[in-house]
Chain A
Amino acid sequence: MSTSPIREFERSLHRVDATSSVVEPDGFDAALADAVEEPAVGAPLPFEDLSLADHPVALDPSPRELREARTGVTGSRLGIASLGTVAVESRAGGDELTALFPEYHVVVLRSSDVRPDLRSAFAWLADEFDAGRDSLVFETGPSATGDMGALVQGVHGPEAIHVLLVDDE
């Protein structure tokens, strides 16, 4: 059975309790506006043609804004179809903090950056390491704990994740 990696990615995201939507590039602004709940903070997107500039999203936020934001928006250059994983890179714009503090994490990802499985993700990672980009997090579903007697989502990290897939292919 062959399915498109995007379909598989969406299914995997669903399995790990994350939501997703797919948009054409020219629908990006509207889709993001729909996805973001204010107040929001963000890290600059690592894509030339997509930006958070026209959105009510604070870049380089103050600690208070970070703490009080409902939504954190980051861009990702890696999705793993079989797992529902996205990469959160360590960048000067504070992607890691943005992805971690608010209760709701919105991830912007291009469909061409979805790779099939962990093996292919590691191949990508090896190239990234070679290029000196060697700090990042594979994030799969909302932060969770079972330590308090039942599974609870949203501990030190977000309790919900939405992946906005921009169809660039």
Chain B
Amino acid sequence: MSETGADADRIRHLLAAEGDQIKANTRLFNEERYAQIDDVGSERHERYRTRAREIKEDAIDRLPDLIERTRASVEHNGGTVYVADDAADAREYVAEVAADADAERVVKSKSMTTEEIDLNEALEASGLDVWETDLGEFVIQVAEESPSHIVGPSLHKSREEITALFEERFDPDESLDSAQALTAFAREFLGERIEAADVGITGANFVLAESGSIALVTNEGNARKCASVPDTHVAVAGIEKIIPSVEELHPFAELIARSATGQAIPQYLSLLSPPVETPAVDFDRPDEPGFGGSDAERDFHLVLIDNGRTEMREDDDLRETLYCIRCGACANSCANFQSVGGHAFGGETYTGGIATGWEAGVEGLDAAAEFNDLCTGCSRCVDACPVKIDIPWINTVVRDRINRGKDPEIEDKLVDGLVPDEEESGTPLRKRFFGNFETVAKLGSATAPVSNAVASLTAVRRALDAGLGIDVRRELPAFERETLVEWADGRTTVADPERRVVLYPDVYTNYVQPERGKAAVRTLEALGCAVTVPDVGGSGRAPLSQGMIATARSKAEHLAADLGAHLDAGRDVVVVEPSALAMFRREYEKLLPADEYERLDEGSYEVFQYVYGLLENGADPDALTAGDGSGVAYHSHCQQRTLGLEAHTVAVLEDLGYDVLTSDVECCGMAGSFGYKSEYYELSVDVGESLADQFEDTDRTVVASGTSCTDQLEALLATETRHPIQLVAP
């Protein structure tokens, strides 16, 4: 597909040019973040997250009221509030303020919101000299690039690159070949510009309605200088930044630096309720006491930007985006972001996991479409986010909206026959292929092993690549002739059981890896459970990953009804594939009526979670295969980890005498269909390499709990990789 060719090249280029730098920096942020959370204690951290989310939910709910309260407070203090409808409106207003102040020079402190409205270009066009004073932002300004990270705009640049850049641009007397020399140069250069500035522009991390204050977070101290040296201060912020009062600021003050850079608190947390009492400094009168004795009145303007946010607020699926405090943790925790950075994983302004929501909301779907598919839905960002935003869901919804209207020329009747989904016409063929994997698997299994042989023919692989963008370098899953359901059909199980279980035959377990299903059945039976494997459909994970929400919902409804009947009959549902269980736990809340969601959520278990529970309740571990000290290298699936279920597998394995090494990487990089796609194949391998590196020289048995993890490990390590249940099964 031609649309994917350019993406593959771009990603390859960014992997090579910026990948190492981004990887090193984001991983450092992550490590520090984990250490800080350990330090405060995860329980306290959770309490702050819960509170922060409540505050944001409430504030966005009554936003129009808070805007008016902000206006009243700021005006009462002697400042001005301007609510700008869109970017152009905001730019014009700021340019007018600068003109009124007879300004020649403007200094700025880092602000994503001013990036969003392209303020610098507009001010420069009206003849102003504009300088970014945040060092990372300064680098970007000098390089004439765009930020690659919400928190660290120049995160993709190495020290050597910055030295080369500055030496070429500024031709300094002495070489700038150290971080110290670069910093000293920038301090000097920007210090002079701050002293001579007429207007200071800052963003605002938070706006406090009751007192008309803004809160600014920096480590360098530039925000305070920009806000207090010139006598005119313009703060530019999205309307969503408003919270009621200083009291509500506390949880955010606890969370923001910890989530962003892994600091307990930023070096500078400034609270300004302008006009401030700090005297403005008049460097034109250097020897006059009293800071130059300026008698100028301080002038303060708060520009609150709508630019699509009111619409986002009314949009049930995008609203959560407005809770975002721009800490960048979702980007750092994302394995794909770590490899390619914000120049691939970002839009016009915003980067990382939540960028899809922002770009769709403020720029439109086209801006989000460029990078939306980089989210594999692994859900690690949800746990990282200080306001618990369901970022994967936002990405899925946006993907669904983007889908409509693509490939309209494709003959829909033909497609509809091939892919029996619920999607409206226009959904791209490749998405529908992956989204209907269940149908493919059914066909493949029915005709195996011929189907597998055919699928591996070079000509067929080329055709799949050309037609569907399935990379020829990735081995396709081989379908088993006998499905798990067929194997189980008519089998006799435990006669007088302790518990009764339905083992959910997800698409992969049923058609591709029935052996792990059989191992699960044998294990459960050995522990006294009667097990049935019903002939039921897919969870909807595959279509959901492709943004095919209507199809996913219909699958969810069918499955919930089918499994519901078993739950009613007093059976527990046990799930082998973590991505399927994650559907029940997370996405079904969005797809099903509340009572059906709750019933399945409460009645279903991950297989090792269930085994763990059986053993805790007295089942005999001797019935399983003991480890006798043998070494296991275990990689738990992303979603299994975010559901907090990794520990059960480790506990059971250790209980049975295995010596377990667990992986400490963010992700395997495969995430379902992602690694099969031509444009993402290399990225998927790049991400997977960290995992492969850790397990490479091990003589331990390699096990992984998700299908895609198994596939990835087998491809990268060329070792057989099984599900851990296959080790312990009798």
Chain A residues near B (Cβ < 8 Å): 60-64, 66-67, 82-83, 85, 90-92, 94-97, 100, 118-119, 122, 125-126, 129, 134-152, 154-157
Contacts and interface: CB of A to CB of B under 8 A. Distances in A.
B247 interface: yes
Contact of A152 (B139, B183, B195, B285): B183
B494 to A, nearest CB: 53
Contact of B253 (A67, A122, A141): A122
Contact of B264 (A83, A135, A154, A156): A83
A129 B248 CA distance: 13
B282 A63 contact: yes
A148 B221 contact: no
Nearest to A103: B187
A29 to B, nearest CB: 24
B272 A90 contact: yes
Interface in B262-314: 264-274, 276-279, 281-283, 285-292
A146 B221 CA distance: 13
Nearest to B211: A134
B293 to A, nearest CB: 9
Interface string B388-419: 00000000000000000000000000000000
Contacts of A139: 267-268
A69 B139 CA distance: 28
Contacts of A62: 285-292
A44 to B, nearest CB: 13
Interface of B: 133-136, 139, 152, 154, 158-160, 162, 178-180, 182-183, 186-187, 190-191, 194-195, 211, 213, 219-222, 224-225, 228-229, 245-247, 249-250, 253-254, 261, 264-274, 276-279, 281-283, 285-292
Nearest to B223: A156
Contacts of B267: 139-144, 157
Contact of A122 (B228, B229, B249): B249
Residue of A63, A66, A139 with highest tally of chain B CB at under 10 A: A63
B265 A140 contact: yes
Contact of B136 (A95, A119, A147): A147
B79 to A, nearest CB: 12
Given A83-B265, A134-B273, A150 B179 contact: yes
A122 B152 CA distance: 28
A90 B77 CA distance: 15
B152 A94 contact: no
18 contacts: A62-B291, A63-B285, A64-B287, A83-B265, A90-B278, A94-B279, A122-B247, A135-B213, A137-B268, A138-B253, A145-B135, A149-B162, A152-B179, A154-B183, A155-B135, A155-B186, A155-B187, A157-B267
Residue of B139, B282, B290 with highest tally of chain A CB at under 10 A: B290
A145 B287 contact: no
B292 A63 contact: yes
Contacts of B273: 134-135
Contacts of A67: 195, 283, 286
A134 B249 CA distance: 13
B246 A118 contact: no
A148 B222 contact: no
A148 B182 contact: yes
B158 A149 contact: yes
Contacts of A145: 135-136, 183, 219-220
A149 B220 contact: no
A118 B623 CA distance: 53
B265 A85 contact: yes
Given A85-B265, A119-B250, A144-B219, A156 B187 contact: yes
Nearest to B180: A152
Nearest to B137: A147
B221 A149 contact: no
Contacts of B224: 96, 100, 137, 157
Contact of B291 (A83, A97, A119, A156): A97
A140 B263 CA distance: 11
A8 B191 CA distance: 35
A125 B246 contact: yes
B281 A97 contact: yes
Contacts of B290: 60, 62
Nearest to B263: A140
Nearest to B166: A148
A119 B135 CA distance: 31
Contacts of B179: 148-152
Contacts of A140: 264-269
B222 A118 contact: no
B278 A97 contact: yes
A96 B283 contact: no
A149 B159 contact: yes
Given A62-B289, A63-B292, A66-B291, A149 B282 contact: no
Nearest to B159: A149
Given A90-B278, A100-B221, A135-B273, A60 B289 contact: yes
A141 to B, nearest CB: 6
Q: Which 9 A-B pairs have the closest CB atoms?
A: A149-B159, A157-B221, A147-B136, A150-B179, A147-B135, A134-B273, A155-B220, A148-B182, A152-B183
Contacts of A136: 270-271
A61 B277 contact: no
Contacts of B289: 60-62
Contact of B271 (A61, A137, A142, A144): A137
B277 A90 contact: yes
B291 A60 contact: yes
A97 to B, nearest CB: 6
A149 B221 CA distance: 18
Nearest to B247: A126
Given A94-B279, A156-B221, 20 more contacts: A60-B291, A62-B292, A63-B283, A63-B286, A64-B287, A83-B265, A91-B278, A92-B279, A100-B225, A126-B246, A134-B213, A135-B272, A135-B274, A143-B220, A145-B135, A145-B220, A148-B182, A155-B222, A156-B191, A156-B194
Contacts of B288: 62-63
